[in-house]
Amino acid sequence: MAGASTSMRLRLPIACIALEVILIILFGVAVEYDHDVSGEAGHKTNTTHHDYENEFYYRYPSFQDVHVMIFIGFGFLMTFLQRYGFSSVGFNFLIAAFSLQLATLVQGFLHTIMTGGKIHVGVESMINADFCTGSVLISFGAVLGKTSPVQMLTMAVFEVILFSVNEFILLSLLNAKDAGGSMTIHTFGAYFGLMVTRVLYRPNLDKSNKKNSSVYHSDIFAMIGTLYLWMFWPSFNSAITLHGDIQHRTALNTYYSLAACTLSTYAFSALLNHEGKLDMVHIQNAALAGGVALGTAAEMMITPFGSMIVGFLAGAISVLGYRFITPFLESKLKIQDTCGVHNLHGMPGILGAIVGAITSLAATKEHYGNGLTAVFPKITSDFPASAQAGMQAISLVVTLGIALIGGIIVGFILKLPIYGAPSDSQCFEDGVYWEVYLNTPALNLKSNFFFIPRSN
Amino acid sequence: MAGASTSMRLRLPIACIALEVILIILFGVAVEYDHDVSGEAGHKTNTTHHDYENEFYYRYPSFQDVHVMIFIGFGFLMTFLQRYGFSSVGFNFLIAAFSLQLATLVQGFLHTIMTGGKIHVGVESMINADFCTGSVLISFGAVLGKTSPVQMLTMAVFEVILFSVNEFILLSLLNAKDAGGSMTIHTFGAYFGLMVTRVLYRPNLDKSNKKNSSVYHSDIFAMIGTLYLWMFWPSFNSAITLHGDIQHRTALNTYYSLAACTLSTYAFSALLNHEGKLDMVHIQNAALAGGVALGTAAEMMITPFGSMIVGFLAGAISVLGYRFITPFLESKLKIQDTCGVHNLHGMPGILGAIVGAITSLAATKEHYGNGLTAVFPKITSDFPASAQAGMQAISLVVTLGIALIGGIIVGFILKLPIYGAPSDSQCFEDGVYWEVYLNTPALNLKSNFFFIPRSN
Amino acid sequence: MAGASTSMRLRLPIACIALEVILIILFGVAVEYDHDVSGEAGHKTNTTHHDYENEFYYRYPSFQDVHVMIFIGFGFLMTFLQRYGFSSVGFNFLIAAFSLQLATLVQGFLHTIMTGGKIHVGVESMINADFCTGSVLISFGAVLGKTSPVQMLTMAVFEVILFSVNEFILLSLLNAKDAGGSMTIHTFGAYFGLMVTRVLYRPNLDKSNKKNSSVYHSDIFAMIGTLYLWMFWPSFNSAITLHGDIQHRTALNTYYSLAACTLSTYAFSALLNHEGKLDMVHIQNAALAGGVALGTAAEMMITPFGSMIVGFLAGAISVLGYRFITPFLESKLKIQDTCGVHNLHGMPGILGAIVGAITSLAATKEHYGNGLTAVFPKITSDFPASAQAGMQAISLVVTLGIALIGGIIVGFILKLPIYGAPSDSQCFEDGVYWEVYLNTPALNLKSNFFFIPRSN
């Protein structure tokens, strides 16, 4: 079914093995356990603290929730395609397992610029690496079905680096706040991916258009992804915030934003359909926009009231995007956005950045009491709330700049004819890269049951 | 396929937007962060405690388990219907996202009657709101497939209020113990829902009977729901108990009850089939009855021995209910119980209330030592264990009364011809409320794969 | 479809009820709450510790992750078979719910040999019981599709006992380290199961060979199992290690091993296919070998570098096993290994044991500082690291011996014609033990949608 040019026989093993060997060598050279991981073994003397103060107990449950979002959440959200389930969940798995290793190195390396010494790993580095991976998977959603696994691994290499540089500029140089990554993760991942898919534009993609759709059960599989993302988003936004009330507040605000977002998603999905019928695409995606849109402000004193307003708007914007903006992007701007990441991550991410900047304006003793410094460590009489808000706004501009330019450059790198990309008629088709023995005629869309003999 | 009368074009947006706007306004007026959420910001001075003593770390992992039960557990348990998967998981999502917001307000308002001040929110309110939501979803299971989303939102409004009033009477006025909600959640939700479905009785439901059944893969989807409910039930029962050994004990007892329940479910399922074949309906539902039946007593010193006996009985009762009582309810009492909530939540809930009352009789220093007051704060020489047991028994009666009467009244409210309810032949059919383009002839039960073009 | 000889009408109820009644009686006689569970009630005086020091908060999140691996992970991993989904997830559920109860008793009883007194239960016993259950489910994977539920319950009775004896010898007598069970769980479970399936060899299994394969959607269901096992393996290996940095380190090392393993799995899966196509069997299974192979060494100072090397090797070995060794085992040694447990648990388990022994050689003050005794409590000047390594090696030999001999004996017990085992043509077929009304001709492999009327 697939031409020789898509064969992964050598390409994928070479890419995977080369990348993993390089990762292993760099880990051997540059990485060591964090204090809380090595204990006495690290010859540190700060171990007078009790076991229950180990960072592990503050963050590991959140880490596991984030981990589920990355592998089950993103992986299954993309299984909505009728003939691309293996690739959706399988390549998501591969790209994520690679990206989290590289992210540990790049994020850690940038951190050592400030601190010196080796790269330290522990539960915090695990969460940060998963965050960077999330951004890569957002871009993956934009190009889904139209790229080979080697192409996506290549994209991941560049994106992890650019993500980490952007994150470093925002959090360490500009002192922006972005605990849940409205800017660093969502805005960056979405616009980077949109530029990549723009450069990789396929004018004849309609050849596989029949496969660029869901079937009944694939939509239910996708709901597994949706619901895990929805349920665990409070953990995502709060995973890396400061201990205690800040982590507590971040989770709570996100929970309310998502609940309000769900109601506006259902409302606008029915309203925009001429028969008043709900569209699974909206439910699967737009109901999550409330988590994205609170990625910056969730740790602030935005209150449940404010969170719900933001969530409600995010759901509405996202549904409107699927209905009006995605077709416009495709027909006018030649941006083929398979999963609609512009609606779930792009616009809600920008909304989240703006909400964060506005909410920062209220970063005063009056609203935060003695907790002000914990949330906004830079704010003093010389650096008032308005300056923080300005830094937040600049951060959005920087993020968009790096994402757009980086995405275009990486798009051209991915256009080289060496990755075994599928032809236009082979897009959205598992059979190109996976063993799928059909017991029904190939490409018979009426049946999705292929007979797959086990090789063992 | 659907007549104009079922259109959600205006009904659903109006209902969702109106309800959400009211919720947002009430949250703005009446809600503030709990001390552990606002930290110093709340200008409270009880923040001398350490970060690791923040309520968040005691309860957030349990909250997330409960959250998974509400959205994945209940949602997927109901996907067993062959053509109602979108609605099962999708309306479950909508109803739950709405109910948890309203429950926060109503439960919080009733709490302020005792304490004064504003409604405080934090991880405890999140858990309590999810609990109330669980009760609504139980009632949802009784009417599943036969109601419109607006009808269910309306039901949720009334049920959340009645649930909260009943819970307030039991826990605050009668001083009953019911940490896992055998009475407040399960008994209430089941009998309320059964009364609603009784009032909404459809004599000609056999018109859509073919669709009121499962197919092979929908039964496997449903097992996702079953297993998450089963695994996390120890978290459910213990989520809101006191810190330390009580929370520990509650989880442990529930774990043993469920394990024993599973074996009795398999035993009775095979025994009651004339070929000795297992029935997926029993496995999906009755194996969970052990969690329901320990909802009151799990925090008490019931011992693993006692827990296993209760679990074993609950499984048996539940299977017998599916085999003998559900057909009786339908044919004689005109109660059409789609998911069999009477067997999973109704009878096991009553069993749990009785077990709780009996176990309370042993609420003595001999069995509880200094921990007695922690579990039974009201017990003194003037209020002996027998008085506690009496309060437990009265609580069951009150719960049944409010559920039965409330369910009948709400049933009549839901009978108004304004909600866009499906006709008899449209029941159990996603196509009425969802975009489901068929690539096979409509209602062809041989194929469950509908071709769904994506609107983006 | 099934002959009378496979009827579970009496066999299964008798087995389940008899076993559960025996369990309940033994729990009543021999089990009591652990100190942290009973609190004051247990009349212990060590309750001066704070609530946050309760073992529950250190271990319950890990327990729940392990619990998900047992019920969802193992259960869904085995749903890859096209017509055996009910049995895979359903019998996994039954066997696990039984095994965890029996394991609590047998492991607890062996523990009381050392300590005296009653069997204590709490979150640690829950984790240990789930671990033993995991080993039984590994053996279940070897015989999957070819045995009756009563046969598997019988296997579980013997395997739980033998597992516990082997574990006791390793951990309590030989002082071996094996926190994640490379030896006790994986090696034991795999070789025990392989011997059982060897004794139960079916020369005419090709009669049901068509059903011993996957279909498109069943492979996606199986990925749910794979991903939960993969994500939560760090919790598995660290669930029972010492508090603080050791638990932290164990999770971290496992995470890196799994990430590296995933890349080598994809590399070798593509490399070994003549068209370069990926095989779902490899992805579903071999990507997990990195967790197995670090089951012994993960708590040691193996570093991320070492963990990644082990993970990379484990993935490669496992894929090579599926490609070359499984066919050899089946054709030459007459070992029919349905799930390929030899590749996922057998060889990676042995690798893990060897890695553990080698890593123990570096158990010195230089590498562990004051933490040495925490990881290796037996190591002194009289019992150097090399002695520990020797004990690790001996432990592997003991494990293999007990597993192989035990498996053969139990295999012969299971060969008795009393369990209602399926005939050769009935293997891998849900219809033998489950109500599956077909709306398509029986055994029509082109359709997997059976119409199942609900009995309620």
Length of chain B counted residue by residue: 456
- Helices B11-30 + A245-271 axis angle, to 10: 160
Contacts of C430 by beta carbon, 8 Å cutoff, 6+ apart: C83, C84, C85, C86, C87, C436
Q: Tell me the three-class secondary structure of B245-314, residue by residue.
A: HHHHHHHHHHHHHHHHHHHHHHHHHHHCCCCCCECHHHHHHHHHHHHHCCCCCCCCCCHHHHHHHHHHHH
Please tell me the distance from the alpha carbon of residue C337 to that of residue C198, in angstroms, as a whole number: 9
- Give the residue, C447 or C398, on which the prediction is more confident: C398
In 3D, which of B142, B150, B148 has the Cα closest to residue B427? Answer: B148
Q: How far does the CA of residue B28 sit from the closest CA of chain A (Å)?
A: 5
Kindly give, in sequence order, each residue whose CB lies less than 8 Å from that of residue B293, ignoring residues fewer than 6 positions away.
B182, B257, B261, B310, B311, B313, B314, B348, B349, B351, B352, B355
Contact C271 A24 (CB under 8 A): no
Of B42, B147, B119, residue with least CA distance to B420 = B147
Query: How far is residue B432's CA from residue B90's CA, in Å, rounded to a whole number?
Result: 13
Q: Provide the 8-state DSSP code for A384.
A: -
Contact (CB, 8 A) for C55 and C128: no
Euclidean distance between CA atoms A225 and B445, whole angstroms? 27
**Mean pLDDT on C50-57:** 91
Contact check, Cβ <8 Å, A93/C287: yes
CA distance A441 to A238: 49
Nearest-by-Cβ selection for C259 from A10, A101, A455: A101
Which stretches within B200-244 are classed as H helix? 216-238
CB contact under 8 A, B278 and C433: yes
Cα atoms found within 13 Å of the Cα of residue A14, Cβ hemisphere only: 11
Q: Are B122 and B234 in contact (CB under 8 A)?
A: no
Which residue type occupies A194? L
**What residues in C contact A20, CB-CB < 8 Å?**
260, 263-264, 267, 308, 312
Mutate to test the interface with B, among A51, A77, A266 (most CBs of B within 10 A): A266
Average pLDDT over residues B361-370: 88
Cβ atoms of B449 and A446 within 8 Å: the answer is yes
Nearest chain C Cα distance for residue A342, angstroms = 27
Q: What is the pLDDT of residue B5?
A: 82
* Pick from B283, B285, B291, B187: nearest CA to B239: B291
Tracing tokens 């964090």 back to the chain, one arrives at: A34
Helix axes A85-115, A123-143, angle to 10 degrees: 130
Residues 6+ apart with CB under 8 A from B449: A82, A215, A216, A217, A446, A447, A448, B439, B440
Question: Going by C-beta distance under 8 Å and a sequence separation of 6 or more, which residues neighbour residue C240?
Answer: C59, C124, C127, C128, C131, C179
Test the A interface: residue of C83, C227, C323, C330 with most A CBs within 10 Å: C227
* Partner-chain residue, chosen from B214, B303, B304, that has the shortest CB–CB distance to C452: B214
Average pLDDT, integer, range C191-204: 97
Which residues of A are less than 8 Å from B150 in CB distance? none
Q: Tell me, what's the pLDDT at A39?
A: 81
- For B336, nearest residue in chain C (alpha carbons): C456
C262-297: string of b/e by CB count within 10 Å (b at 16+)?
A: bbbbbbbbbbbbeebbbbbbbbbbbbbbbbbbbbbb
| Rounded Cα gap, residues A125 and A129, in angstroms | 6
- With residue A418 as reference, give the H or E element that holds it: none
CB atoms B223 and C71 under 8 Å: no
Residues facing B434 on adjacent strands:
A278
Beta-carbon contacts of B378 under 8 Å, excluding residues fewer than 6 positions away, are B175, B388
Q: pLDDT per residue over B74-126, tens digit each?
A: 999 999 999 999 999 999 999 999 999 999 999 999 999 888 899 999 999 99
B10-50 residue pLDDT tens: 999 999 999 999 999 999 999 999 999 988 544 444 445 78
SS (H, E, C) C338-350: CCCHHHHHHHHHH
Residues 6+ apart with CB under 8 A from A413: A154, A158
- What distance in Å separates the CA atoms of residue C79 and residue C90, rounded to the nearest whole number? 10
> H-type helices in B118-187, by residue range?
123-143, 149-168
Type and span of the H or E element at A1? none
How high is the pLDDT of residue C48? 54
Closest by Cβ to B219, choosing from C86, C93, C149: C86
Note whether C408 and C191 are within 8 A (CB): no
The distance in angstroms from the start CA to the end CA of chain B is 23
Question: Which residues of chain B make contact with C19, given a CB cutoff of 8 A?
Answer: 263
Strand (E) or helix (H) holding A291: helix A289-292
Identify the CA nearest to A180 among candidates A38, A286, A289: A289
Tokens of C160: 């739980």
Sign of CA dihedral A171, A177, A178, A182: negative
DSSP secondary structure string for all residues of A136-156: HHHHHHHHTTSS-HHHHHHHH
CB spacing of A263 vs B126 below 8 angstroms: no
Chains that touch B (3 or more CB pairs under 8 A): A, C
Q: Is C446–A447 a contact, with Cβ atoms under 8 angstroms apart? A: yes
Give the residue among A309, A305, A307 at the shortest CA–CA distance from A251.
A307
What tokens appear for A166 in the block? 């952007």
Nearest-by-Cβ selection for B216 from C10, C122, C449: C449
Do the beta carbons of residue C126 and residue C63 sit within 8 Å? yes
Cβ neighbours of A97 in C, within 8 Å? 258-259, 262-263, 287
- Gyration radius of chain B's alpha carbons: 22
Q: Which of C7, C37, C60 sits opposite B275 (nearest CB)?
A: C7
C251 vs A contacts (CB less than 8 Å): 56, 60, 123
The CA distances from residue C94 to B260, C89, C194, C435, in Å, are 10, 9, 21, 17
- Residues in B touching A65 (Cβ below 8 Å): 64
- Do A214 and B52 make contact, defined as CB atoms within 8 angstroms? no
Contact C19 B251 (CB under 8 A): no
| pLDDT, one tens digit for every residue, chain A (456 residues) | 334 488 999 999 999 999 999 999 999 999 999 999 988 544 444 445 788 889 999 999 999 999 999 999 999 999 999 999 999 999 999 999 999 999 999 999 999 988 889 999 999 999 999 999 999 999 999 999 999 999 999 999 999 999 999 999 999 999 999 999 999 999 999 999 999 999 999 999 988 878 888 999 999 999 999 999 999 999 999 999 999 999 999 999 999 999 999 999 999 999 999 999 999 999 999 999 999 999 999 999 999 999 999 999 999 999 999 999 999 999 999 999 999 999 999 999 999 999 999 999 999 888 898 889 889 999 888 899 999 999 999 999 999 999 999 999 999 999 999 999 999 999 999 999 999 965 433 333 333 334 444 443
| Structure confidence by residue, pLDDT tens digits, B392-417 | 999 999 999 999 999 999 999 999 99
Mean pLDDT of B183-200: 98
pLDDT confidence of residue B3: 43
List of chain A residues whose C-beta atoms are within 8 Å of the C-beta of residue C281: 454-456
Contacts of C89 in chain B (CB under 8 A): 220, 223, 227
ipTM of the complex model: 0.94
In chain A, residues with a C-beta closer than 8 Å to the C-beta of B221 are 220
C-alpha A407/C-alpha A402 separation (Å) is 8
Find how far residue C78's CA is from the centre of its chain: 13
Say which of B215, B255, B287 has its CB closest to residue C449.
Answer: B215
Q: What is the mean pLDDT of residues B56-79?
A: 97
Across the interface, of A28, A79, A121, the residue whose CB is closest to C252 is A121
Which chain B residues are within 8 Å of C434, Cβ to Cβ?
A: 277-280
Q: Which of C214, C264, C283 sits opposite A20 (nearest CB)?
A: C264
For C272, the 3-state DSSP assignment is coil
Residue C20 and residue B267: Cβ atoms within 8 Å?
Answer: yes
What is the rounded CA–CA span in Å between residue B74 and residue B89?
A: 8
- Cβ atoms of A122 and C252 closer than 8 Å: yes
- For the entire predicted model, the pTM comes to 0.95
